[in-house]
Structure 1
């Protein structure tokens, strides 16, 4: 009988140790893009991050509210994109509407120098004033956001992007017969598109907007695309 009781306690000990091991693994889970961004000690070696939110203006004079980026927008809806990084650097924003051509949105030709500077934990809004209104015809509109910790010539960024395979053949705003940018040149100017993403639902941290999207990159230059559906 004594041996039987010892056997039972051995099994209890085995099960308990396994349960504790599982708890330890869950507590030491891999950090995701959101964890990296919210780490107030700053970017880790070779890892930088950004977050963005889509803000929808419902009525004039009412503070725009964050919405899910997968929302299908209606004609007349007016939105803004709010960005934030955990590093100092620069952002270039290119957009393609239903008209079918790409254009440089930030900085635009009329913008003053330094308008595309981003600073850690400082929100950057596109456009800085007013909002982007969806007009007919409906379709899908695109924004490409290109980040760098070093200053770049926006014209070079735009030209390299517009001649790359990323800017598809429906681009009516670019040359048709020009040689396409090769992947090496694209990576040298725009950086990496190999990113980790994390989207949240309800905000759980101070200063975090609902539906925020976090992006983590392994390089100091990176870019990503935002698609906005309009019906």
Structure 2
């Protein structure tokens, strides 16, 4: 079975015109290729069909997938997940599924629904809930902003600027990654690549990663809560 390391930089599926999701696929030799995924249409109640999500975001049997987006809700009575607070993530996931409209609300809602669909419909194992070992889980969450801070030895500059993108790409190339198409990467592609690279580390250099936050749990009604975020250790 061929293992691919897949990173998704999620967007808001409830936006008026949802942007495609940038996907980075890293192979065992360190080659990075880019593509995009398109969100399925939301229904009138701001829902996303789990089967449509599984088809729009396919996960092959050998894939290790890392997503820039929250995997679960906060514990009851709290306004932010422990991992998000500790890693200073700008998007804060509450204890109930937010309705689109407020900043980050649609992004959070779509991400939580996607994780639930991939585990429930596709059976992709999540850390803590399905296995205690990162080397056995195949679906993770990451926050690239925190990983860039750890990876850099000096300030990288704005991620949307040409200089900031070039310096981030150089950091990944120094880790042995090679960008196949040879063109300058967008900052969304670079964030997706960081996600894929963290997945690669779970299999090749597990001592270099850590999982920040509270373990993932499941309520009796199936709601996923908290969950740890991959980062460099």
Q: Same fold (TM over 0.5)?
A: no
Give me the TM-score of the superposition, normalised by structure 2: 0.29
Q: Which structure has the bigger radius of gyration?
A: 1
Compare the two structures and name the one with the higher helix fraction: 2
Give me the TM-score of the superposition, normalised by structure 1: 0.29
Compare the two structures and name the one with the higher strand fraction: 1
